[in-house]
Amino acid sequence: MGNCCSLQIGLENFILRGLDSIAGHANYVCKLQQTLPTLSAALQELRAQRNDLLRQVDLAEQRLLKPFEQVQLWLSTAETMITEAEKLIADDPQQMNNCASMNYFSSYKFGKKVAEMLQEISDHKSKGVFEKVAENQPAAAVVVRPVEQPVALESTIQKVWSCIVDKDAGIIGLYGLGGVGKTTLLTKLNKKFSTTPNVGKIQDRIGGNLGFSDDSWKNKSVDQKTTDIYGVLGNKKFVVLLDDLWERVDLNQVGIPKPSQENGSKLIFTTRSLEVFGEMEAQKKIKVECLETEKAWELFRDKVGDETLNSHPDILNLAKQVAERCGGLPLALITIGRAMACKKTIGEWKYAIEMLKRCALPKLENEVFPLLKFSYDNLPNATMKSCLLYCCLHPEGYCIPERRLVENWFCEGLLNEFDRISEAQMQGDNIICSLISACLLENDGEIDGEDCVKMHDVIRDMTLWIIREFEATENNFFVKAGAQLFEEPDVKAWENVRRTSVVENKIEILNKTPKCPSLRTLFLSQNKLKVIGDGFYQFMPHLTVLDLSRNGGLRALPEGISDLISLQCLDLSYTSISELPIELKSLTKLKMLDLSYTENLRKIPQHLISSFLKLQIFRMWWRLNRDYPNENNVLNGGNEKLIEELKGLKCLNILRIPIHNMFCLERLLSFNLFRCWTQALQLRGFRELQVFNVLCLENLERLETLEFSYFESMEEIKMEKLYTWVSSSINHTSCFHTLSRVSIMGCKNLRDVTWLILAPNLRVLFIYFCPKMEVILSEEKLGEVACVNGIPYLKPFLKLETLYLSCLPKLKSIYWDALPFPCLKLIHIGGCRELKKLPLDSNSAKGNLLSTEGSKDWRARVEWKDEATRDAFLPSFKLFSESDLKPSTFSTFKLTVDQLNALKAKAAANSSGTKYSSYNILTAHIWRCVSKARGLSDDQPILSTGDLNTESFLDTIKRIHEGLNQINDEYLSNQNILSKNVIASEQIGNLQRRSSPNRACIFDDFTALVRLQLRYDNHRDKIVAEEEAKLESITAYLSYSRAESENQKFPDLQAQDLDNHSKPDRFKLQLSFTRILLLHLLQLNERVETSANLVDLLPPTACLRSKLAILLWVYTLIMGNCCSVQIGLENFILRGLDSIAGHANYVCKLQQTLPTLSAALQELRAQRNDLKSQVDLAEQRLLRPFEQVQLWLSKAETMIREAEKLIADGPQQMNNLCLGGCGSMNYLSSYKFGKKVAEMLQEIKDHKRDGVFEKVAENQPAASVVVRAEEQPIALESTIQKAWSCIVDTDVGIIGLYGLGGVGKTTLLTKLNNKFSTTPNDFEAVIWALVSKDSDVGKIQDLIGENIGFSDGSWKNKRVDQKAVDIYRILSNKRFVVLLDDLWERVDLNQVGIPKPSQENGSKLIFTTRSLEVCGEMEAQKKIKVECLVTEKAWELFRDKVGDETLNSHPYILNLAKQVAERRGGLPLALITIGRAMACKRTLGEWKYAIEMLK
């Protein structure tokens, strides 16, 4: 110690201090016999207090209250204490035996633990007194709802979730059939994160989720609730889920801010109606589809159970039949599956199937059909309901042509808005689209170019149930469609019905005489009818619709058909009738006659067609050019007689007719009305014509389908103006703007079809068997188009969807350059060996799924424009065989349907043979399909040797070819799947040894090898990268450690010392104590925290005394006692010990204070969380938290962060302790840390005491501006600016905004209201009141009173004059703005209590009205008219509401939409309402119908 004085210590002081210390420790041992029983009693009391509190918590949780976290923490700590105390008491006997000092140290430690536990229990019991143990639950961010296990909804859930994370999609709609799983899907989405359109009810549901659950809030007005909900949601990023919407919900009226990119919120709703999507302005529309067969069976099997399904060997197949009849509808599958779960006999299952066929299964009637009937009941009118019920006349899964359906409705009298079919078609199209939107009908593609719909099987069953149960008196139906009947049904069963259908049966003879006085519709199509008795139609006086189509064996009509004097619709298409009887003349009401594909028809008597004076639809198609009887026959002579008779039909609307020579065509075109009637024209067999001028057809205003067939001599179709026929008003840029389908076949000498450039809206192009065709569009001939149109050329094929080119051996070019094909879906190339280039580049079909079909050989010859083009189209290329196109592929002997079935059976039995290959099976299958399509019976020839010389052969081949291509694609697809299975099962090395692989297999093999190699390479690279990274990291670490060691300039330290250690960061420097001490003493004060740990640097052999000496020396240096003084060692040690003891206490008690701090931190967190929950609940109720509470929470957050940091540093500091915790290897660091812990413990204790509040919030003061939900204003900016300039003008006090109803006045006033909240101003109150037509002074006063703080019931019960005094007293001391919306007459401001605005008070009154007179009566200083939108802005608003997806769904809709917008005259309300209504209308018929209704 240098110059310190000699050692002189008195023994007395030493002994006294030692005795004091020993006495305190001995006390723990001596009092064990008292403290242990006391601990046992305290433990009992703690258990009782714990149990009582637990019961209170359980009761609160049963009431859905949320226990305070402080209570839960107290219970948790109590459990721990009870466990520890029980262990101490259990150790009691052993320790009592040690009390006679047999093990004094053990008894001392045990006694100390008992005393400390007793004190802890005493303290904890005092903390366990709570006034309340729980509070109301705050509104959950997501309320997890019970959910059915979704089946096959995973992809739809993923699709919806991707929309949720897409910032561009704010409003998402899910639509689908009732029972399809929309609610299940919405519930699943709710878990991953049935509302009626009653605004108040919706507000109550949303309010309950936001914390507005008390009765006082529910009693508020809709407008007040709107403000509250908007106030909460306007500051949140929210998701609102609305289930089962049937009509539009006004988000502004409810108080839901419209989701947008800016607020990042979402609205997701479910509906059965696609129209609701448009009205809700959904950016994403997702249809929830029915289940596929496999998934449907999986769901049904799960509900029935394997025990039932395995109870009898036949039940499994019967169960599959039941599941199939459910049509994939989850609700039906679940309901029927549960009902059948206990049915274990064959009889029960067969009975269920029979009841399903009759739509009479109780479970369906009680649980499924009533739910689906809501969609039916929600249809807007009786007409639409009748039209839906009419659809059930067709068999299950039947493709119903839309036009034929509408024509039947029209003739039945269901469409009563129009007298002409062309106009009624618009109404019918609108009904069909509405039924599709309501998910009661489904789109089902096209058949022969006609759009089709179908009815879901369960929906069909539902309609039959409705007919039976609810519509029995008005719409009696007898439906046996697809019932496999071989004989006509019992006539008594359908004598009194209104509509009968026996479609798709096997009935051959109708020879009975039913008496059906009420029958209106009779469907007999798709049977095997051969004979109809003459008396069959005798007693059907009101029959209006008769369908005999697709009865290939029917060769003659009965004479009794003349009795059908009310008949309006007669369909004879696809029959074999040879003659129309003259008796048909009695059908004077006939409106529709269809003779399409009646190829055996040889005679129509003269004057028969002309007798149908009310005929509106006449169809004849594909009539062969044969020799016909000359006598009394309009078919003789190329149809010119037929055309003459058609001229006299003034009501004719729709005409489809074949023309066989140029003379007949000229006669047709010479009559003006034919220009409007002709919808489809078949030009066939013009044998001598070499040049055809296509512009002779340009005046056919409604021409949709045009066919050129078997022009054997025609070399050119030219475009030459015919001034004698062409009106000067014709715009040649769209000569054939209605033409959508063109077929050209059997034109042997034709070289190009450049005229197609004049058909800008062409959708389908078929060209077959034109052996000299060289180019589709000729570059040279486009000069003619320039002459005709006055422009260089038009872009062709912009609307083309299907391009079918077959058997054109000399075709070299379609177009000389790449073209855009935005709508093209299919290019089929077959038998075009010279065609090597397609008019495609990589951008041709951007955003469109284009499929190209061709043979393998042709695909190999295709010359793609570049690699990008090849990569774009080659993956979707489909293969077929060139041999499919050759007539020799098919047999030329007489082949019947029965023979085909036999061939197919043989092929299936011997598929390995060459004679009956799998390809033969496909051929037989296609022939069977063709025979069915042509309506042939089993014994009728499909094709015979003689047909090879007829023109119909090529047509038949075309049909067979189309089907073969489709099935061949499926075959090749199966081969590809097979090759992939081989790859999966064989070793990689065997892949090369596969015998004669086809191109597809080789490609698959190569792909698999590449993928395997990539997978290996990726794995290998990952391993290498990880190892290299580790090696680099280790090297850098070692280098750093060595450099750090070399920088320490220790005396006598040599660089080679470092080389003797493998771990440079861990070795200890072997230096003498003196050298290390001298090194650090001078710098110790300046860098205590960064200096090396002195004790760690001592040699391992250093004694304890040396370590204590260093600690003492360091302490005296830090405390400023470095001077050289002479003192007695006794005083030095005693004073040093007294001084050190206080500081050392922080170090010695670290083992106690750190756990205590951790416990205190838990308690503070719990108190903080409880208080935050109370604050959140208060804010949800629109209360304002006290500032003291917010300040306490802020300080608590800071303390929690600091305490967490101390606790995180605790383990490191605890590792520095030594001497049983009384010393530290880094004393200064431990001292400072211990002091911080002790101080933090005290701060937390004080802060917890300050955190007890009786109330955490108070009522909000009346807001100066209540922000209101607003529509995005369109073109109102200038009016808003004009009104705002009046507001800041001190000379203007009263401002009137007037204009037409729906022009946007309320939107403007709302925008002004909200502008006060964002624009600096000195108004003290902004008050909104909706006046409206039926408001009185008292109601206006109540609305104003709510805005200025008079919201209690007692104030509302005051008289009008008393309220006026109160309002005047408040407003007269404020600078206010009063906004009155929708004034219909003068409001007396004095009577209400509103001080008149003036320059002196600086206040404003702004009101809206429809009347300029009201502006005068209100003494407005400024009158601002809110104008309708100009055309451009009106279109912008309308387009926004309709949506580009709808506007671009058809090329004509854009122009029609502009017409609709123009008819609204710029009125925003009309534009918004109609725009939303039209957002889901994607057919021309719907838009034309809308225009007609607007007219």
pLDDT in tens, 658-698: 988 888 898 888 888 888 889 999 998 887 889 999 999 98
Mean pLDDT of 1018-1023: 45
Pairing state of beta strands 545-547 and 569-571?
parallel
Percentage of the chain exceeding pLDDT 90: 17
Dihedral over Cα of 1002, 1003, 1005, 1006: its sign: positive
Confidence at residue 1049, expressed as pLDDT on a 0 to 100 scale = 36
* Strand 802-806 relative to strand 826-830, pairing: parallel
Q: Which residue has the tokens 């960064």?
A: 1090
- For residues 899-905, average pLDDT: 50
Contact 711, 659 (CB under 8 A): no
Cα–Cα distance measured from residue 263 to residue 277, given in angstroms and rounded to the nearest whole number: 21
pLDDT band for 1224, please (50, 70, 90 cuts). Answer: low
> Considering the chain, what is the average pLDDT of its residues?
75
Instruction: Answer with the residue of higher pLDDT: 185 or 571.
Output: 571
Residue 654 pLDDT: 92
Average pLDDT over residues 1275-1289: 85
- Which residue type does 324 have? E
Higher pLDDT, 974 or 132: 132
Return the higher-pLDDT residue of 1454 and 175.
Answer: 1454
DSSP character for 379?
Answer: S
* pLDDT one-digit tens code per residue, 1398-1409: 888 889 999 999
Higher pLDDT residue, 989 or 865?
865
Model confidence pLDDT, tens digit, residues 39-63: 888 888 888 888 878 888 887 776 6
Question: DSSP for 1203-1219?
Answer: HHHHHHHHHHHHHTEEG
Instruction: Determine the residue type at 68.
Output: F
Q: Determine the Cα angle at 1155 with ends 1150 and 1156, to 5°.
A: 95
73, 1202, 1244, 1469 from 1161: Cα distances, Å: 11, 10, 8, 60
Task: Tell whether the model's pLDDT for residue 1070 goes beyond 80.
Answer: no
Q: Give helix 402-412 / helix 382-390 axis angle, nearest 10°.
A: 120
In sequence order, which residues have a C-beta less than 8 Å from that of residue 1394 and are 6 or more positions away? 1344, 1367, 1368, 1371, 1378, 1405
Q: How far is CA 1216 from the centre of its chain?
A: 60
Residue at 1091: amino acid letter: S
**CA distances to 168, 186, 214 from 263, in Å:** 11, 22, 29
Cα–Cα distance measured from residue 1425 to residue 1278, given in angstroms and rounded to the nearest whole number: 12
Quote the CA–CA distance of 1418 and 1387 in Å, as a whole number.
7
Residue written as token pair 């009401």: 589
Q: What is the Cα–Cα distance from 971 to 1305, expressed in whole angstroms?
A: 66
Burial 801-835 (b: 16+ CB within 10 A, else e): bbbbbbbbeebebbbeebbbbebbebbbbbbbeeb
Does residue 1234 register a pLDDT over 60? yes
Share of the chain above pLDDT 70, in %: 71
703, pLDDT greater than 90? yes
Average pLDDT over residues 431-435: 88
Q: Which of 964, 951, 982, 797 is nearest to 890 (CA)?
A: 964
Rounded to 10°, the helix 640-647/662-670 angle is 10
Q: What is the pLDDT of residues 1334-1356, one digit of tens each?
A: 778 888 888 888 888 776 777 87
How many CA atoms, within 13 angstroms, populate the side-chain half-sphere of residue 1044?
11
1301-1327 mean pLDDT: 85
pLDDT of 279: 79
The confidence band for 407, taking pLDDT boundaries of 50, 70 and 90, is very high
pLDDT, average across residues 1246-1269: 75
User: How far is it, in rounded angstroms, from Cα 1186 to Cα 1372?
Assistant: 30
733 pLDDT more than 60: no
Higher pLDDT, 1116 or 484: 484
Alpha carbons 1353 and 1351: distance in angstroms, whole number: 7
Residue 102 scores a pLDDT above 70: no
Yes or no: say if 614 and 570 are a contact pair by the CB < 8 Å rule: no
- Of 552-561, 1102-1111, 1479-1488, the range with the lowest mean pLDDT is 1102-1111
Pick from 60-69, 223-232, 263-272, 1406-1415: least confident: 60-69
- Predicted confidence (pLDDT) at residue 369 exceeds the cutoff of 50: yes
**Cα(979)–Cα(983) distance, integer angstroms:** 6
Q: What are the strands, taking DSSP E only, across 1167-1287?
A: 1183-1185, 1217-1218, 1223-1224, 1257-1259
Judged by average pLDDT, the poorest of 978-982, 1133-1137, 1161-1165, 1373-1377 is: 978-982
Least confident of 258-267, 365-374, 1414-1423: 365-374
**pLDDT tops 60 at residue 7:** no
Query: What CA–CA distance (Å, rounded) separates 608 from 240?
Result: 66
Q: Read off the pLDDT of residues 538-580 as tens digits, 9 standing for 90 and up.
A: 999 999 999 999 999 999 999 889 999 999 999 999 999 999 9
Neighbours of 220 (CB within 10 A): 18
Q: Which two tokens stand for residue 356?
A: 């399903």
Average pLDDT score over residue span 24-37: 68
Most confident segment among 217-221, 776-780, 990-994, 1487-1491: 776-780
d(Cα 951, Cα 946) in Å, to the nearest integer? 11
**Residue 1294 three-state SS:** strand
Structure tokens of 337?
A: 């599956």
Half-sphere exposure of 672 (CA within 13 A, CB side): 2
Position 34 scores a pLDDT of 73
Band of pLDDT at residue 149, cut at 50, 70 and 90:
low
Region 322-344 average pLDDT: 82
Q: What is the mean pLDDT of residues 1062-1083?
A: 34
Helix (H, G, I), strand (E, B) or coil at 723: coil
Confidence check: pLDDT of 926 > 60: no
Over residues 1369-1379, the mean pLDDT reads: 88
**Where does the pLDDT of residue 731 fall: very low under 50, low under 70, confident under 90, or very high at 90 and above?**
very low
Q: How confident is the model at residue 190 (pLDDT cuts 50, 70, 90)?
A: low
pLDDT, mean of residues 1254-1258: 78
**Other Cβ atoms closer than 10 A to 303:** 17
Residues 776 and 996: their CA atoms lie apart, in Å, by: 39
Instruction: State the average pLDDT over residues 859-887.
Output: 75
**pLDDT for residue 499:** 93
- Would you mind telling me the total number of residues written for the chain in this entry? 1495
Q: How confident is the model at residue 1311 (pLDDT cuts 50, 70, 90)?
A: confident
367-381, 1264-1278, 1358-1372 — most confident range? 1358-1372
CA 1416 to CA 938: how far, in whole Å? 87
CA distance 784 to 782: 5
Mean pLDDT for 354-382 is: 76
Contacts of 23 (CB under 8 A, 6+ apart): none
Amino acid (one-letter) located at 206: I
> Who wins on pLDDT, 1147 or 1395?
1395
- The tokens describing 590, both together, are 């006939």
